[in-house]
Amino acid sequence: MSSFSDVFFGGQGDECATSNDYNGEYWGARISTVPVLLVTSLFGAIFPVMSANSKASWFKMPDWCFFYCKYFGSGVILATTFIHLLDPGIACLSDPCLGGVWNEYPMGLAVTLIALCIIFLVEILIYYFLKAHNQAMATAINDQEAADYKDDAIQKTDSKTSLEKQLAKMGHNHGGEVGVSAVDAKTLYSGQLVTIFVLEFGIIFHSVFVGLSLTTSGDEFVTLYVVIVFHQFFEGLGLGARIAWTKWPESKKLTPYLLALAYGLTTPIAAAIGLGVRKSYVPGSRTALIVTGFCDSISAGVLLYSSLVELMAQEFLYSNEFDDSAPGKRDGLKRLIGAYILFIAGAALMSCLGKWA
């Protein structure tokens, strides 16, 4: 009877690569990838955040610009999921050199499915406990306000009729509205945080291998360099716009900058590591194929869930962004069609970049 390791890791297959495509050319350009990727990635992610928090009118982006970046960026993230993560993950985990179960079962899709289900479970639990916590806080606030209002009413008058009027007024105009609005605002903010952190995790996880593959590449280095610069900028813009769109409390004012900084640093650091291991890192080796395939597939599952649920369903179907009856909203259908066109444009652009990277 075959052991688990024999079934999972064994099997006859082609011999995996033992060397990479690094050819020693363009050394100066390879070194330049670190600062260039740092600037483009960081600028794409942090510019919307800085603009949203700027007090200078000349630097502050208008609302329509955030609108463009938000929906264009959502399309970029969706295309990244399918073209830049899911497909490479499947290719790595089904490479002929792995043999065995790797070539007999769609491992990449299975890992993506598992990651999607896990992130769904995590979000379910987060929302459940946050909602319960927020409702408990709202109830406590309402009870305290009711007690305070009642004490105040008793001190002002001993009349039962007057007290009933005061309590009725409180119930209709004060306590109930404050409690409900507090719960809604807190839940909305918590939901936005979950979306951002899930996106950040999925994108950063994937960015490590983008940097490694760039600086260890061979003849295709120049093309890959140009494409990855655009890739990182547009991906950062999509993430940064969503971070900037969130209404951060004063106590968390540094959080959006830290999130943008984390994204901006990941790929250049990975590129620098790639320079150091340029002769020893073999992307086509058995270990690298499995590790890269798992990471890409996990990121694909995370971002697939975020793209379909948070960026598409939540933003297009369940948001009041396109509701003509919402305060300050007009031309809902026009805005909806515009958002959809921006979404498709972002997805199309990122899909085209997938031809080279």
| pLDDT tens figures, 317-353 | 888 888 776 565 668 888 999 999 999 999 999 999 9
User: How far, in Å, are 130, 165, 180, 231, 335 from residue 194 at the CA level?
Assistant: 11, 43, 21, 24, 26
For 235-292, the DSSP string reads HHHHHHHHHHHS---GGGTTHHHHHHHHHHHHHHHHHHHHHHTTTT--TTSHHHHHHH
Two tokens at 100? 């065995």
CA distance 345 to 357: 18
Q: 228: Cβ–Cβ under 8 A, 6 or more apart, which residues? A: 37, 210, 214, 267, 357
Residues in the chain where the model's pLDDT stays below 70: 1-14, 134-135, 137-188, 325-330
CA distance 343 to 142: 42
Specify the pLDDT at position 141.
Answer: 62
| pLDDT tens figures, 138-155 | 666 665 655 655 555 555
Specify the pLDDT at position 172.
Answer: 46
Specify the pLDDT at position 174.
Answer: 45
Sorted by where each begins, the domain ranges of the chain are: 40-122+179-323+337-353
Specify the pLDDT at position 47.
Answer: 92
| pLDDT tens figures, 221-258 | 999 999 999 999 999 998 998 898 888 888 888 999 99
With left for phi above 0 and alpha for psi between -120 and 50, is residue 331 left, alpha or beta? left
Specify the pLDDT at position 53.
Answer: 82
pTM metric for this prediction: 0.79
Specify the pLDDT at position 140.
Answer: 64
User: How far, in Å, are 20, 21, 30, 219, 278 from residue 24 at the CA level?
Assistant: 11, 9, 10, 10, 9
